[in-house]
Structure 1
Amino acid sequence: MENPYQRKKNPTRVRQLILDKVIQLAGQQGIQGISIQSVASMAGITKGGVFHHFANKQILVKAMLEELIHHLDREVNAKIENDTVAYGCFTRAYIEVTLSPNIGANSAWSALCMTVITDKSFSEMWNQWLEERLKQHATTDQSIDLKILRYAADGAWFIEGLLPEPQHDYALIKQELILRSYPKS
């Protein structure tokens, strides 16, 4: 007979809940704001429940980054699939995704950026993803002009993240970067 007061186990859902809470914490406070206890409290589980899925904070943060990079990769792929111009397709997708409106302080993108910036041991994961994507799109996105646009996009989200109020010209900057990513006639 099944106990009606006992919760059914759903390890996949609990693991995802933990990752969602880590992303939220990292977006708000960077990885220094992440503790197993804070994650457990936010997720409504015990510290032991977190340790059941992730042996330590380092493994937890690495799993969060893998999740975020995988999500970013899916979004970039979707943008590329809908792009009818080959030249600069990765750069346009990169700009579109990284300068999206959900880039706020508590966003998944913010969590990724804060983690990579504040802990160099994790920046290698980001660099590896970017290098692989640039190799994949070497024929369409190797120009120095496109590299400058990607750097400008990185600078735009970084500055936007530092300022207390959203800038009124942020969307215009994004639009201009995308326009400049098309081949010159």
Structure 2
Amino acid sequence: MPASAYTRTKQPEQVRRALLDCAADIATDHGVSGITVQAVAAAAGVTKGGLFHHFGSKQALIEGLFADLLGRVDAEIDAAIEADPNPRGSFTRAYVNAVFTGKAFGFTTPWATLSMVAVTDPSLRRLWNEWMKARLKRHRATDATLGLQIVRLAADGAWLSFVTTGQTRMNADLRAVHDRLIAQSYQRQ
């Protein structure tokens, strides 16, 4: 076992956090297929049994990572909404900014890798749908117009284009799309 191994049984949250962080790093570097029980356990400095104590299977680990990233996205979006002086469209603007430049959700985060798997994995798709439905319900009063829905869908399309073409940074054209979507979110529709 590596010297950095968690040997005390009273650190379950630290171990869980290390497992999620290591899984995210592996997903970023090697894709979701690189997330193996052995690779994550070794990177986190725990045994495979230690990983299985926190996540009953590789699928549970991936679902836990996905849920963790959604929690980070939530925090980032909530902070942006709170800082936005204009309530109308604030969720949409926060969402667009999170998609394009976010620390938890943006183009160059572990989210990019995991969300591609969500397209084909029913359990991850369910987590995403539940998250989005809850957000849309929560922000119905400020973000329920068709125009704002179009802005969010366009951001999703820009994101899909970015990750499927193998880009590594936002170019001028993509920045212009971002700016146009943000401008659209202020228009009355």
Match of 1:120 among 119, 122, 134: 122
C-alpha distance 62-21 of structure 1, shift in aligned 2 (>3 A): same
For 1:121 and 1:64, the matched residues in 2 are separated by 12
Unaligned runs of 5+ in 2: none
Unaligned runs of 5+ in 1: 1-5
Structure 2 equivalent of residue 169 of structure 1: 173
How large is the Cα RMSD of the aligned pairs?
Answer: 2.2
For 1:79 and 1:60, the matched residues in 2 are separated by 29
Structure 2 equivalent of residue 3 of structure 1: none
For 1:21 and 1:111, the matched residues in 2 are separated by 14
Conserved 8 A contact 2:23-2:40: yes
Instruction: Give the deviation of 1:131 after TM superposition.
Output: 0.6
Structure 2 equivalent of residue 132 of structure 1: 134
What is the aligned-residue identity percentage?
Answer: 37
Return the structure number with greater relative CO, CA threshold 8 A, min gap 6.
Answer: 1
For 2:118 and 2:23, the matched residues in 1 are separated by 14
Structure 1 equivalent of residue 35 of structure 2: 34
Match of 1:144 among 139, 143, 146: 146
Who wins on radius of gyration, i.e. which is larger? 1
Question: What's the TM-score once normalised by structure 1's chain length?
Answer: 0.86
Instruction: Give the deviation of 1:8 after TM superposition.
Output: 5.3
Conserved 8 A contact 1:88-1:182: yes
Conserved 8 A contact 1:22-1:34: yes
Question: What's the TM-score once normalised by structure 2's chain length?
Answer: 0.84
Structure 2 equivalent of residue 91 of structure 1: 92
Helix, strand or coil: the match of 2:172?
coil
C-alpha distance 139-53 of structure 1, shift in aligned 2 (>3 A): same
Structure 2 equivalent of residue 80 of structure 1: 81
